Structure 1
């Protein structure tokens, strides 16, 4: 999105664009510095100053999920299910398709690094449904898109009924209760449908938007508070798994602190603390986040693997990050925007045909011109100019 606007009064929440960029750069730092498979050996000696902060970068995903809950609730107000579907398709797929093709090409053309997938698996990746099909991701970061799709599927139930304050509150309460029951009874398939354990951050985003639009009350803060407590618990499980990946002792208190900071900042967004933040560059920066997120991991690792022995690691890291930002800008400008416009027109026309029972939508005819008096621009030769109705008076229409 070029900017984030409230579905109610049209107010632009520009600070969310900046937060999305922060989240994306956190993930980039984690993959490039702390979890970079392109570097030989441990990254801790290579980047002694930034290694430990970068080891918490995976938490940017949780911040993404919170922002997603906020923005989806905001943008779906007053929309129908077809409109919701079209908005998500044009937002997710154009840059994603290019990222799948570009990543596959780079991996295939740079030998000695990551092994490319079979072409059938690449085709499945283009649908974004590789996880339920048991197919490996072209790029590891794509797992979060499957989490987003499941959130959209669940929230589509609210959109179907019509997004209102009561229905969003009920949705949050039912989702939280179902997630707790599924976790407690170890219902694996239901866990997956309910996006456990990441659901708490989507729920928090929904609660924060309701506070932003309707004002705070005890019920909404209770929803946010429950998600905070449960989210703190689930991220610690992820933190323990990351210790095996980063190869260094990263203290768990840093995870708790960062999650707390995320909640405080999002609370500030919902309460209007950042209302005066209206920097013009923030929407442009926010537009980089999705292409950057999709493209950075495997392509960056291939670059590190290829050039590590012939360049200083700091220079190589900096050049790669800047190069990825430039690439993300080009993808947004030359792929995302034009492709999204064309895809939106096509999908909107397709849904109109569905509503018409299969008949193609009738072309819009130009409005007939009213004949005017001779000498005027509205004069139509040969047309009968009606006589004025004297009885109606000068104000007749």
Structure 2
């Protein structure tokens, strides 16, 4: 779920990068990818506000199924925005790592993720600690662990519900950094990484070992891998191997999505998703990123899409838990009708995301990146 689109090398070469290799070369920004990223985030928000039961029901005062009897099932498909995020991430991270030394890649990822994340953790913890808020804040100990973004593997209660996706992103970054960025990104290394990860994820499914599942992420790997394949097509649309990577990843990805989200129709269930709709949404996500990769959406070059891309990550972080509170204030406290509450909550969270981007990310991200990329001063010792 990264928000900035790195630049590719002007020569398109596959030479391994060194510490003295120029990192970037100016090219036009893929603004359509920014727009697609915000659409995926809004899909997830629709799911969190109206596509499931649980804590959001406390905000509404009843199940969203009763408030949105016709729309709640469609909202339930919004969780597939995460899979679309992962496809975009595979594309962007492959682009980011191409031509970068490891230090630069590490600095770009940490500085992109953590400033807004720390802000969101602080905001949610502070709001949940207010006496009139019905949701419970985590303990101080859990709060401190959450700042590391490692609460999922450590089994610590989460401040942000969406942080499980960030844990998946971190594992992807680690695998990509070790296997591609560290030795130097080339087409051959990316292809071997995609092939090796696909096989490892399949074997992890067979092994039923939690450690292998945690490392190779069989339920999410095809989306990251598919995104990397689409980046290879962005570099060379005639690359038949890249087309194969995308096709195999799509086939496995739709299966994983159906296996995780479909169940037999049950009148007692909150909603009954149809397998063909899940497949269609996954296919559309791959197709849209593919259209951007192949230049078919180059016409979507509006400047406001850059703003949309900048809002996506902070919006994604804060919209769920703080949205519960806003829904409760508007709908239960002020008796605002459910549709208006829905729209106003989305608008409020987008406004908060804009504030986070302007007041935190704009200065903290470059400052942290510069600090991390700066080599350590010599100690003077021999």
Fold match, TM over 0.5?
yes
Give the aligned CA root-mean-square deviation in angstroms. Answer: 2.0
Which of 332, 343, 346 aligns to 2:371? It is 346
Q: Quick check: 1:5–1:13 contact (8 Å CA) kept in 2?
A: no
Tell me the secondary structure at the aligned position of residue 246 of structure 2. Answer: helix
Instruction: Provide the secondary structure at the position in 2 that maps to 1:55.
Output: helix
Q: Identify the range of structure 1 (245-254 vs 142-151) with the bigger mean alpha-carbon deviation.
A: 245-254
- Say whether residues 1:268 and 2:291 are aligned partners: yes
Moved over 4 A (4+): 241-246
- The answer to whether the aligner puts 1:12 opposite 2:29 as a matched pair is yes
For the structure 1 residues 242 and 358, does the alpha-carbon distance in structure 2 shift closer, same or farther, using more than 3 Å as the test? farther
Question: 1:365 — aligned with what?
Answer: none
Q: Are positions 1:199 and 2:244 aligned together?
A: no
Shift of 1:280: 1.0
Report the counterpart of residue 374 of structure 1 in structure 2. none
Q: CA deviation at 1:232?
A: 1.1
Structure 1 position 94, deviation (Å):
0.2
- 1:122·1:138 contact (CA, 8 Å) conserved in 2? yes
**Contact preservation (8 Å) 1:113, 1:305:** no
So what's the TM-score if we normalise by structure 1? Answer: 0.85
Does residue 1:290 correspond to 2:313, yes or no? yes
What's the offset of the Cα at 1:112? 5.2
In 2: Cα distance, 1:359 partner to 1:237 partner = 58
Task: String of CA shifts for 1:75-119, please: whole Å, max 9, x gaps.
Answer: 111111111110011100000000000001111115352211101
Q: Tell me the alpha carbon deviations over residues 265-298 of structure 1, each in whole angstroms, 9 at most, x when there is no partner.
A: 1221222111222111001111000000000101
Query: Deviation of residue 196 (structure 1)?
Result: 2.1
Judge conservation of contact 1:3–1:14 (CA < 8 Å) in 2. Answer: no
Is contact 1:34-1:246 (8 Å) kept?
no
User: 1:154-165 counterparts in 2 under 5 A?
Assistant: 154-157=175-178, 158-165=180-187
> Could you list the runs of 5+ residues in structure 1 that have no partner in the other structure?
361-397
- How far apart, in 1, do the equivalents of 2:51 and 2:227 lie? 28
Quote the residue 2:188 is aligned against. 166
**Take 1:178 and 1:224, find their aligned partners in 2: how far apart are those partners?**
17
| Bigger Cα Rg | 1
Q: How many aligned positions are there?
A: 356
Residue 301 of structure 1 is aligned with which of 296, 301, 324? Answer: 324
1:123: which partner in 2? Answer: 144
The CA distance in 2 between the partners of 1:316 and 1:4, in whole Å, is: 33
The farther-off stretch of 110-119 and 310-319 is: 110-119
Match of 1:175 among 179, 186, 197: 197
Indicate how the Cα distance of structure 1 residues 241 and 135 shifts in structure 2: closer, same or farther if over 3 A, else same: farther
Q: Is the 8 A contact 2:262 2:273 kept in 1?
A: no
Q: Would the aligned equivalents of 1:90 and 1:340 in 2 still touch at CA under 8 Å?
A: yes
Q: CA deviation at 1:243?
A: 8.5
CA 1:77–1:33: 2 relative to 1, 3 Å: same
Q: Residue 90 of structure 2 contacts residue 225 of structure 2 at CA under 8 Å; is this kept in 1? A: yes
Partner of 1:237: 259
Q: What displacement does 1:49 show?
A: 4.2
Structure 1 residues 348, 267: CA separation in 2 closer, same or farther (over 3 Å shift)? Answer: closer
Distance in 1 between residues matched to 2:311 and 2:357, nearest whole Å: 7
The equivalences for 1:305-324 within 5 A come to 305-309=328-332, 310-324=335-349
The question of whether the paired residues in 2 share the 8 Å contact of 1:172 and 1:203 is answered with: yes
For 1:109, what is the secondary structure of its paired residue?
Answer: coil
Q: Which residue of structure 1 lines up, in the alignment, with residue 18 of structure 2?
A: none
Pick one of 220, 223, 230 that aligns with 2:242. Answer: 220
Could you give the per-residue CA deviations for residues 125-183 of structure 1, whole angstroms, max 9, x where no partner exists? Answer: 00001012110110211100000000000000210000111100010001111111111
> CA 1:110/1:318 → structure 2, altered by over 3 Å: closer, same or farther?
farther
Map of 1:257 onto structure 2: 280
Counterpart of 2:231 (choices 202, 205, 209) is 209
